[in-house]
Structure 1
Amino acid sequence: MYIGFITNEDKDKNFEYTNNLINFCIKQNTRPLILKNFQNMINNEKVIFLEENELLKKSDFIIILGGDGTILRWSKKIAKFNKNILGINMGNLGYLTDVEKYEATTAIKNVLNNNYIVEKRMMLSATINNKEYICLNEVNINNGNVSRMVKIGIDINGRFMEAFSADGLIISTPTGSTAYNLSAGGPILKPDIELMAITYVCPHVLFSRPYVVSSNDKIRAYVTNEDSTAYLSFDGQESIPIKYGEDVYIKKSSFYTNIIKTTELSFYDILRSKMFEIRK
């Protein structure tokens, strides 16, 4: 079995923990795959070094060592190869990377013994100027770094819904509902359902509520005032300027992020431990 390893080098600077896990996996009669640009960090003849696409294609499953941001960065690439992800938390919150470091070897053994389930997480597709982007958490239209509102309109299935002046607009997946959407007052959605949450950020109106729409709905978002420039981001990791007359088309993606679960912890257990108990 081939196991792909992707490490956030900022979280494991000397690859000490990564090397320990690699050695453990070799003892389980597996072949670790590592990105070529980290070749000088690994000294083991049984490790195979590959370019990015080769690693994603050859891996039977992929271990990501980092935080939630690491999974968000890699999810869109891994989804195109339909590979399963085991996330090891090297960060703070670890909502997606819910296996802690001390649990990693047990989790890997469970995967090798087929004692796991896979959660298929819905992703979003956003198209602007004929270019498509995919993301796991949310599509966000915002006002950039200036303290000035932007007027954003949305249509759903070709029907006008509303247009508000606001700091931004979030269209979130169930997975992303506990991220920026939650901070903006949006609803929490169970990650195994397929819905989208639409939440305005600081709308300049007396009454505004987020709402939930079907994953089959097609959303068009756009800037309604000619003198404004907004910015489009995906999982908080890209920023593309949007001008008046440029439409953003958002829908459910055909790709999924496959998250490996090796414990019986439910969504509600994780929600309580990650979102509530850490704040006590």
Structure 2
Amino acid sequence: MAGYVFGLVLHPTRDVSDVVRIIVRWADQHGRTLAVRAEDHHRVPPSVAALPADQFVARCDALISIGGDGTMLGALRSAVHDPRPVLGVNLGRLGFLVEVAPAELPDALQRLVAHDYTVESHACLACDVCGDDVVAFNDIALVRRPGAGFVTATLAIDGQRYGFYRCDALVVSTPTGSTAYNYAAGGPLVSPASHAVVVTPSAPMAGISRSVVLAASETVRLELRADSAPVAVEMDGLIVRDAGEGDAVQVRYVPDAGQVVRLDPRRHQERNQLKLSLLDLPLLPEQLRELLPDGLREQFNRRVPPSPR
């Protein structure tokens, strides 16, 4: 395939046909090539090329993720060994990674081809999960099976053992992932500009009961103790395998593992501020006013004039 190739990464279950039609129409008008993994070819028009999964990323210049944050995370994981710019088209509700609405796609695609965008670099967690290599951009978690007991594991940092956990789940997250399972488990929100790893127990019963924030250079090892129940190991919310007594998960931080396309970094930051306000970080009324669409903001200002500064 010649020219600039866009690889489409589709939400695994949602109907994405309307968005795909917008992209196909734009590509036809501008002479651009589109591709999908061969297993998704039945979900797109025949003009979209089908590529084997093991060649998909290498033969694409950029990826377009169509879905929510979960689809975006999958696109980033697929390109972790050969990073490509990933543009997120938001079909979800509360998206921290995705930026573009379907109606904004034609302009966004034109800017992507013209390299008129910035790249937001994302770190990942490279994990040895019971001998299997796993990559996570949000988090890796050891989760109890309902009714089977508790997760009981020891914590070691750079080979030094520090204590143990007895809890419902153990979550190891990146700064980006700190707004996900880590936050739900009571962990801290960590600035995406920082380089850190957070270990948070969910519903701790004994042992370490608070979050631990570690440097990016430190390696984390969680080893299941003899009295631990069998657990499920989750990567970015997806179960990758079961684990039990004596099994271990080792995690190291890898910077610059993913490239997220930002067309308007300031606007994206403002949207994330609004989303974070839903996670108990309330914004001032003036800040919320500024995040309203222009027409709605004008109507609101006529009713409630801005307070003097």
Distance 2:228 2:18 in 1: 52
* TM-score, normalised via structure 2 length: 0.82
Q: Is the 8 A contact 1:7 1:18 kept in 2?
A: no
CA distance in 2, matches of 1:153, 1:27: 58
- How far apart, CA to CA, are the structure 2 residues paired with 1:141 and 1:210? 15
Of 25, 29, 35, the residue aligned with 2:37 is 35
SS in 1 for 2:57: helix
Match of 1:2 in 2: 5
Quote the residue 2:27 is aligned against. 25
Flag the 1:162–1:59 CA change in 2: closer, same or farther, 3 A.
same
Check conservation: 2:127, 2:134, Cα contact below 8 A.
yes
Equivalent in the alignment of 2:96: 95
Is there any run of 5+ residues in structure 2 with no aligned partner, and where? 283-309
Which 4+ runs in 1 deviate beyond 6 A? none
Output aligned runs, 1:66-81, within 5 Å. Answer: 66-81=67-82
Return the alpha-carbon distance in structure 1 between the equivalents of residues 278 and 232 of structure 2: 34
Is 1:235 the counterpart of 2:257? The answer is: no
Q: Distance in 2 between matches of 1:206 and 1:72?
A: 32
After TM superposition, the structure 1 = structure 2 runs for residues 130-149 of structure 1, keeping only pairs within 5 Å, are 130-146=131-147, 148-149=149-150
Q: Indicate conservation of the 8 Å contact 2:164/2:207, yes or no.
A: no
Amino acid at match of 1:85: V
Q: Separation in 1 of the partners of 2:158 and 2:216?
A: 12
> How far is the alpha carbon of 1:204 from its aligned partner?
1.5
In structure 1, what is the Cα distance between the partners aligned to 2:84 and 2:98?
Answer: 16
Q: What is the alpha-carbon distance in structure 1 between the residues aligned to residue 247 and residue 110 of structure 2?
A: 50
1:84 matched residue in structure 2: 85
Superposition deviation, residue 118 in structure 1: 0.9
Q: Secondary structure at the match of 1:69?
A: helix
* Structure 1 residue 2: Cα displacement: 0.9
In the TM superposition, what is the alpha-carbon distance from 1:18 to its structure 2 partner?
A: 0.5
Contact between 2:224 and 2:245, CA under 8 Å: does it hold in 1?
yes
Q: In 1, distance between residues paired with 2:161 and 2:145? A: 25
Contact kept in structure 2, 1:67 and 1:90, CA below 8 Å? yes
Query: How far apart, in 1, do the equivalents of 2:42 and 2:250 lie?
Result: 43
Give how far 1:59 is off: 0.7
Please, which moves more after superposition, 137-146 or 258-267?
Answer: 258-267
Matching residue within 16, 28, 32 for 2:18: 16
User: Partners of 1:209 and 1:9 in 2: how far apart?
Assistant: 36
Cα distance in structure 2, aligned partners of 1:120 and 1:278? 24
Q: How far is the alpha carbon of 1:66 from its aligned partner? A: 0.7
Q: Give the match for residue 276 of structure 1.
A: 277
In 1, Cα distance between equivalents of 2:202 and 2:267: 29
Report the more deviating stretch, 156-165 or 238-247. Answer: 238-247
Alpha-carbon shift at residue 44 of structure 1 (Å): 5.2
Relative distance call for 1:255 and 1:245 in structure 2 (3 A) is: farther
* Deviation, structure 1 residue 107: 1.9
Contact kept? 2:10, 2:66, Cα under 8 Å = yes
Distance 1:157 1:237, change over 3 A: same
Change in CA separation of 1:41 and 1:229 when aligned onto 2, cut-off 3 Å: closer
Shift of 1:202: 0.8
Superposed displacement of residue 112, structure 1: 1.8
How many angstroms apart in 2 are the aligned matches of 1:234 and 1:91?
20
Question: Distance in 2 between the 1:229 and 1:147 partners?
Answer: 7
Within 1, Cα distance between the matches of 2:269 and 2:96?
Answer: 12
